[in-house]
Amino acid sequence: MSPAALARAETPPSPEARQQRLDRWWERQREKEAADRFWNGPREARRNLTRDQIERWEEQRDRRLRRPRYPF
């Protein structure tokens, strides 16, 4: 590596740059959590479903996706 590259690698980022990087990281985490909630539904609601409710929910999803009925 060149001496200039080594010098750049050794300098820590400024506090402002570090804070901006952390803010972007947290924003991305919030986006991913929102996407997970969109696809999976709220965790609390999924956790409290009975087995019958889950089977009914999966049956409706299978019908919507045109999957064959269980058992195959």
Q: Is residue 51 a contact partner of residue 43, using CB atoms and an 8 Å limit? A: no
Residue 63 has pLDDT above 60, yes or no: yes
d(CA 7, CA 18): 18
Q: So what's the pLDDT on residue 1? A: 58
Phi, psi dihedral angles at 28 (to 5 degrees) = -65, -40
Q: So what's the pLDDT on residue 21? A: 94
Q: What is the pLDDT of residues 14-60, one digit of tens each?
A: 999 999 999 999 999 999 888 877 777 766 655 667 788 888 888 99
* Nearest-5° Cα angle at 68, 63 to 72: 140
Residue 6 has pLDDT above 90, yes or no: no
Per domain, the residue ranges of the chain are 17-72
d(CA 69, CA 63): 8
